[in-house]
Structure 1
């Protein structure tokens, strides 16, 4: 064999190898993951962790491209894309599923669950599972794994210009409120003087006295700096939040089983990571704002939750709640 033939043979082998690599790369499937938060936010960090783990667990056969900060569109647009399958994952509060399941607005009732564990148990009840099943039946959209594994919050607080040491102190408090029917009814029942304000208007409202308090996830306390005008923070556990990874069910079912299992494993690991990260952030937040003169007040929660349980039972008796909600949430208990 001449040198020229040897060279041509080597080039042919190299070309075939390159074609093999290219063909292998072409077989990798790409999924698009949309969310609202900045990429460097705690939630954004967790979503990228999930994507990286999927790539590792599937040996690159499935790639998750994460699009933060509504890069692929606002919620209405994303829901259409999710239903069509042009977006594969959308991670956000389950409230958005109201588009297809109106009852799911009750997935996180205010002041009904003192602990996150109690709330997660409720979300695993037949009632709530039925709501998620309806979303799949109507829109072909399904939650990946444990729907509430991804943590937001991790808990809620009341930021105020005076100490709130018992729930009776809420009477007459000028509280910034948002346009949510249940939240409005709950806080009015506690005697708050509601001020309907945009989130971005809240700091100035606290500064001017238009508002005296605002509710917030613990994770946003430091970033929003409301405590500069209202230097008292009270943990309320008002409601709990999880962020289901809603996906196009048909796309998931079409994946090889090994890739389905990889997604489930990556999701479970991301949920554990989110709990760790959110808890650490909340602890660091408290230390940071206390160093700036903020006072954390401890309000006994049992009397508040007992009162609200009675409030929900009265509404249930009046036929104003979804059938089965009280039994799923409170087990029919009168405690």
Structure 2
């Protein structure tokens, strides 16, 4: 009689073993892959590593984030495909890359429309811009982690030139290195600059040879790129503001336990605060260091420049050349 129950008992033991093994697998730590363009020793790379460390700590080790800097997992087009598929869980870069799915997001950082970062961030929280992010999720299953613009890049924009730029009228004397962005080209041509289309890596030599006499840059990259060696005048312009959304595979996030979701959200919020502090320190340190090297920092009155550009945007809006509602979202008094 006992022998008749051996097969049943055996099956029960096998099932119990499989369930135990499955439970152990489900309980093991999950690893997310995070792709970035910047080197790990850059200011941005330091912040990404901080984020990963905090996720591990806050999740109690149940969720880890492996950071892949320097495009180790592929260039942008490849990363976007992997992000959709979920083989890459997070991609951190300027939101312009979302144009693959949301063409209107090219307007997320209009040139010379916001004098302060705070005003710009408020614009990115508008229904208009949030709708663009929602479209990215609907089309590609890609969602921003937390506040999209919490991570600071820049922290502000400057104009590096061979001659001082003391008012926006001086821009008409500038031969400016430019990149292939339609809005940037339109804006700088409107201001009277002569543009030369050049790769970022060609800019130093172009300044040296006289092909151009000026270039725009985030303040954080001025020292590293050494453009100041050929163009010793730096003018803060606040041309546009930059944030770095942590864009993630939405399905992967939704599948996580609530505590691990919260670990990601909290770590991201802390990384955003850290980025603001670190970028401000770097910008201040950069200015002090370069002034010791003979670089002149020019204070250009910005109010006339921004008033001129506000009129330009109004003209484009009246001509139907802006996304509907953009000017109202950017300048509430226009509504």
d(CA) in 1 for partners of 2:152, 2:113: 18
2:123 paired residue number:
122
Q: Secondary structure at the match of 2:235?
A: strand
2:222 paired residue number:
221
1:10 paired residue number:
none
Tell me, yes or no, if the aligned pair for 1:83 and 1:139 is still in contact at 8 Å. Answer: yes
Q: Cα offset for 1:23?
A: 4.2
Q: Cα offset for 1:182?
A: 0.4
Corresponding position: 1:325 with 2:332: no
Q: Secondary structure at the match of 2:60?
A: coil
Corresponding position: 1:241 with 2:226: no
Corresponding position: 1:309 with 2:310: yes
2:5 paired residue number:
none
2:33 paired residue number:
32
1:169 paired residue number:
170
TM-score by length of 2: 0.92
Q: Cα offset for 1:46?
A: 0.2
After superposition, the Cα gap between the structure-2 partners of 1:184 and 1:153, relative to the gap in structure 1 and judged at 3 Å, is same
Q: Secondary structure at the match of 1:171?
A: helix
Q: Cα offset for 1:204?
A: 1.1
1:107 paired residue number:
108
Corresponding position: 1:267 with 2:268: yes
Tell me, yes or no, if the aligned pair for 1:151 and 1:242 is still in contact at 8 Å. Answer: yes
TM-score by length of 1: 0.92
d(CA) in 2 for partners of 1:172, 1:149: 36
1:183 paired residue number:
184
Q: Cα offset for 1:27?
A: 1.1
d(CA) in 2 for partners of 1:202, 1:94: 24
2:144 paired residue number:
143
User: Which stretches in structure 1 are left out of the alignment for 5+ residues?
Assistant: 1-18
Q: Secondary structure at the match of 1:288?
A: helix
Q: Secondary structure at the match of 2:173?
A: coil
d(CA) in 2 for partners of 1:172, 1:157: 17
1:8 paired residue number:
none
1:13 paired residue number:
none
1:278 paired residue number:
279
Tell me, yes or no, if the aligned pair for 1:100 and 1:139 is still in contact at 8 Å. Answer: yes
CA RMSD after TM alignment = 1.5
Kindly provide the CA deviation profile for residues 46-67 of structure 1, in whole angstroms up to 9, marking residues without a partner as x. Answer: 0000000000000000010000
1:131 paired residue number:
132
Q: Cα offset for 1:332?
A: 3.7
Q: Secondary structure at the match of 1:255?
A: coil
Q: Cα offset for 1:331?
A: 1.1
d(CA) in 1 for partners of 2:81, 2:205: 36
d(CA) in 2 for partners of 1:254, 1:201: 45
Q: Cα offset for 1:26?
A: 6.4
d(CA) in 1 for partners of 2:202, 2:156: 23
d(CA) in 1 for partners of 2:135, 2:228: 41
Corresponding position: 1:45 with 2:27: no
Q: Cα offset for 1:138?
A: 0.3
Q: Secondary structure at the match of 1:280?
A: helix
Kindly provide the CA deviation profile for residues 173-220 of structure 1, in whole angstroms up to 9, marking residues without a partner as x. Answer: 100001100000000000000011111111111111110000000000
d(CA) in 2 for partners of 1:277, 1:31: 25
Tell me, yes or no, if the aligned pair for 1:29 and 1:61 is still in contact at 8 Å. Answer: yes
* 73-82 or 193-202: bigger deviation: 193-202
d(CA) in 1 for partners of 2:238, 2:189: 18
Q: Number of aligned residue pairs: give it.
A: 315
